[in-house]
Amino acid sequence: MKGTAMKTGFVWHEIYMWHSTGRHAGVYQPGLTIQPGVPFEEAETKRRFKNLLEVSGLGEQLQPIKALALTEQQLLAVHTPAYLEQLQQLSDGPGGLVCANTPVGHGSYEIAALAAGGVVAAVDAVLQGTVRNAYALVRPPGHHAEPDQGMGFCLLANAALAARHALDQHGLTRIAIVDWDVHHGNGAQRIFWDDPRVLTVSIHQDGNYPAHTGHAHELGGGAGTGYNLNVPLPAGCGEGAYLAAFDTLILPALRAYRPQLIIVPCGFDAGAYDPLGRMMLHSDSYRAMTQRLMDLADHCCDGRLVLCHEGGYEPNTVPYMGLAVMETLSGQRTAIVDPNLADMRGITGQALQPHQQQWITHLQHVLHSPLFEEGLRT
């Protein structure tokens, strides 16, 4: 285990906030029947998270990590030339859409390349041992981006590009991606579908977005069979169901896999007030999930843990859930009290419900890969 004197790394660049998502009303393009409004994916939630870090005093305790934009050659490790060309053309002009709900602004290509580069830089810092662990507060998000298309507000596959970098440049052979955004991590699933060197895990709201992926029976293919684990949970899950899923499904699989690095696409849209999810987590839930992964990383890979920012669209609560994660990663509790916590914890149904327990038991049977069975025996 690394010394606690080592700091938590932090990636941030103001220009991440300049990626323009226009005047969508939520996820909808404005028009004759839809008044122009504020898009769900915009800068404010992330900026408020960064601001709270500064106000809390924790910001100055973090080790800044400098992002470098990924080159086209690096992006081609995951994405197709045709998609990168489409993205570059839209970005060079006034912008447009790469799919119905995914706007590209002028310059978004360069900003997205710097966001992916931020996650890569965080991975470099953790693997080189210059920081204890790291959080990349980047934008635009990445976990829905597939090799040949952007989708779900995501342009480039930030976490997958960082995992590919760790395979190719650092020679790792076992990387775990643990995606706790409320939506399915379809990008990494597709990119590493047949690659056992990356265990892709996604815990998400069943049938949310994308509606047709993220089922438990999607276990990977070829040599990668058994190395893609989906944990789709029914809407309405609180902390009890999430921690039960961690303790009985996710952590045993990770213990069996023994990753050399864990990357977490970290969405705060499983928070109770999020407009794009129907789960009920709060800041202490994110604290608990972070601590579980830190304990596991300490046990199996010298604490190597990198989180990268994904979804989370409720501006008043995301900063406090984010601060809770940063306090946990850095081992430093600030004086800030989450004003939302009492109300969110008080929502009926936070504890594990019988139908949720039944579903998690069912998932244990579906996720029957040799890897997972081995994990359950440990």
| CA dihedral sign, ordered 60, 141, 312, 47 | positive
Give 182 or 306: the residue with its C-beta nearer to Zn ion.
Answer: 182
Question: For residues 28 and 38, what is the distance between their CA atoms, to the nearest angstrom?
Answer: 10
Phi-psi region of 207 (alpha: psi -120 to 50; beta: other; left: phi over 0): left
For residue 185, state whether it binds Zn ion (rule: CB under 5 A): no
Residue of the chain from 41, 146, 181, 327 that contacts Zn ion (CB under 5 A) = 181
146 binds Zn ion (CB under 5 A): no
The type of residue at 360 is I
Distances in whole angstroms, Cα of residue 153 to Cα of each of 66, 209, 242: 24, 11, 25
Q: What is the DSSP letter of 248?
A: I
Query: Is the C-alpha dihedral spanning 180, 186, 190, 193 positive or negative?
Result: positive
269 binds Zn ion (CB under 5 A): yes
Q: Does 139 bind Zn ion (CB under 5 A)?
A: no
Instruction: Map the footprint of Zn ion across residues 309-328, applying CB under 5 A.
Output: 311
Residues 6+ apart with CB under 8 A from 378: 252, 255, 256
Whichever of 252 and 267 has its CB closer to Zn ion, that residue is 267
Choice from 117, 267, 271, 319 touching Zn ion (CB under 5 A) = 267
Which residue lies nearest Zn ion, judged by its C-beta? 311
Q: Which of 143, 144, 184, 204 is catalytic?
A: 144
- Min. distance of Cβ 183 from Zn ion in angstroms? 4
Q: Which stretch binds Zn ion (CB under 5 A): 59-67, 191-199, 267-275, 282-290?
A: 267-275
Q: What gap in Å lies between CA 40 and CA 25, rounded to an integer?
A: 8
* Size of interface with Zn ion, in residues (CB under 5 A): 5
Smallest distance from the beta carbon of 310 to Zn ion, in angstroms? 6
183 binds Zn ion (CB under 5 A): yes
Q: Which two structure tokens, joined as six digits, stand for 212?
A: 């047709």
Residue 170 annotated among the catalytic residues of the structure: no
CB of 71 to Zn ion, least distance (A): 28
Residues that bind Zn ion (CB under 5 A): 181, 183, 267, 269, 311
Q: Indicate which residues carry an active-site annotation.
A: 144
